[in-house]
Amino acid sequence: FTASLLLGTTLTISSNHWIVAWAGLEINTLAILPMISKSHHPRAIEAATKYFLTQATASALLLFSSMINAWQTGQWDITQLTNPTSCLILTSAIAMKLGLVPFHFWFPEVLQGTPLTTGLLLSTLMKFPPITLLYMTSPSLNPTVLTSMAILSTALGGWMGLNQTQIRKILAFSSISHLGWMTIIISYNPKLTLLNFYLYALMTTATFLTLHSTKASKLSTLMTTWTKAPTLNAALLLTLLSLAGLPPLTGFLPKWLIIQELTKQDMA
């Protein structure tokens, strides 16, 4: 399954043809499903079902969008997406794949039903192919739609994470918020989106692996883990602050650069 996951991701990020990109996304979805439902717990099965339905819908929309574009323009090149209807459908499909507002409802639920290691894959590796597609098609997409989605994602991601006690749900809302930051800048400076994604993936990996080793899944258990591994917990505190984007930590860098770029574009 891990091999299929890597194959699917590689196919999508290296493809130039819509059908190959779609096939890569499908392989990815099918490879992660058994990992989500591995524990046979009812919640895990529910998470797998929700994940499958969402991703299948998003993939269908992606295929539909590329077909309309190919029908109108006669070519399947990812970078040549010129049809306005296709652009709008593609934006919805990628937003659904990533979990951007207003298609974000599945993500916290799915992450809550999965083990921490699979949750890590869902938050980082599974987001990479859709972000690559967004990167490749960004010049054609409507900046107003992207900006609206991005602002809503950043606001709701931060706001809805406030009343959670489950760590995985908090991390899911953190992911939604970060994706908002990535989406808002994609039309103006796509390289910043990638930088933000790499740093987000790095910090999230550190957080998930620490939580996995301390076996903490709720905030109440996190309170008592410092007795087991004080050094690891201090590192986790710094990682979480970095994930929140506080200066002078690494997580502040992409936000700073994004705000600077938005100011140049008269957006901020």
Q: Please state the length of the chain.
A: 268
Q: What is the pLDDT of residue 165?
A: 94
Q: Domain coordinates of the chain in residue numbers?
A: 1-264
- Cβ within 8 Å of residue 189, ≥6 positions away: 261
The DSSP bridge partners found for residue 218 are 166
Contact 251, 202 (CB under 8 A): no
Exposure pattern of 234-248 as b/e (b: 16+ CB <10 Å)? eebeebbebbebeee
**To the nearest whole number, what is the mean pLDDT of the chain?**
95
Count helices and strands (H / E) in the chain: 13, 0
Contact 167, 222 (CB under 8 A): yes
Q: Is the peptide bond before 248 cis (omega within 30 degrees of 0)?
A: yes
Express each pLDDT in 77-120 by its tens digit.
999 999 999 999 999 999 999 999 999 999 999 999 999 999 99
Q: How confident is the model at residue 193 (pLDDT cuts 50, 70, 90)?
A: very high
Rounded CA gap, 194 and 246, in Å?
20
| pTM of the complete model | 0.95
Express each pLDDT in 134-173 by its tens digit.
999 999 999 999 999 999 999 999 999 999 999 999 999 9
CA 188 to chain centre: 19
Predicted confidence (pLDDT) at residue 27 exceeds the cutoff of 70 = yes
3-state class (DSSP) for residue 17: strand
